[in-house]
Amino acid sequence: MFKKSLAPLALALAFFTTPALAQDAALVTSKSLSPDTAHALVKQTLEACRSEGFQVAVVVIDRGGNLQALIRDQFAGPFTPKVAELKAATALNFSTNTQTLMEQTQPGSPASGLRHVPGVLVVGGGVLIQAGGTLIGAIGVSGAPGGDADEACALKGLESIQDDLDFL
């Protein structure tokens, strides 16, 4: 008797939970920095550049390429926010820091054509943001005297929030 009363319950549960499982398989979730964390990242990166005497712009974008945070130091050039955003977007779109991408796309290399794709800026200063091994966005820095210096500032900024990212 006990087995007979459980059969309809099991059937009902299977019927009503199957669509939920099917819906979950059709959806994708992703993580992104909170606005507070994105703001802290641009601020810490700006401070890292200031400590070296550089006036820069810093941009953070999410996994979808959407702007999350932007800061431009008072004497950074007017073009630096756009350049920083292009660096971040390039790093994100190729899943590679732009300093590395710059080395991989030198003239004469098989990948050199990437340098001519509209909207791609292959100059150091675009760095991936990862949390627990998952790509969640990118940071771009522009205004230091060279892409390697821009990237160094970005890496220092990321280091300041890395403990928070490792637990996501």
Rounded CA-CA distance 7/139 in Å is 55
Per-residue CA distances from 54 to 36, 38, 117 (Å): 24, 21, 29
Whether 48 is in a domain gets the answer yes
Whether 102 is in a domain gets the answer yes
Per-residue pLDDT, averaged over 98-103, amounts to: 96
pLDDT in tens, 127-163: 999 998 899 999 999 999 999 999 999 999 999 999 8
Whether 84 is in a domain gets the answer yes
Rounded CA-CA distance 98/36 in Å is 25
Q: Is the pLDDT reported for residue 9 higher than 50? A: no
* CATH, residue 94: 3.30.450.150
Radius of gyration of the chain (CA): 22
Q: Is the pLDDT reported for residue 106 higher than 70? A: yes
Whether 12 is in a domain gets the answer no
Question: How many domains are there within the chain?
Answer: 1
Percent of the chain with pLDDT over 90: 76
Q: Is the pLDDT reported for residue 28 higher than 90? A: no
Whether 3 is in a domain gets the answer no
Whether 26 is in a domain gets the answer no
Element (H, E) at 122: none
Of 87, 75, 73, give the one whose Cα is nearest residue 127. Answer: 87
Report residue 88 as tokens.
């971040």
The whole domain housing 52 covers 35-166
Query: 138-153 burial, b for 16+ CB within 10 Å, e for fewer?
Result: bbbbbbbeebebbbbb
Per-residue pLDDT, averaged over 37-62, amounts to: 98
Whether 129 is in a domain gets the answer yes
Whether 14 is in a domain gets the answer no
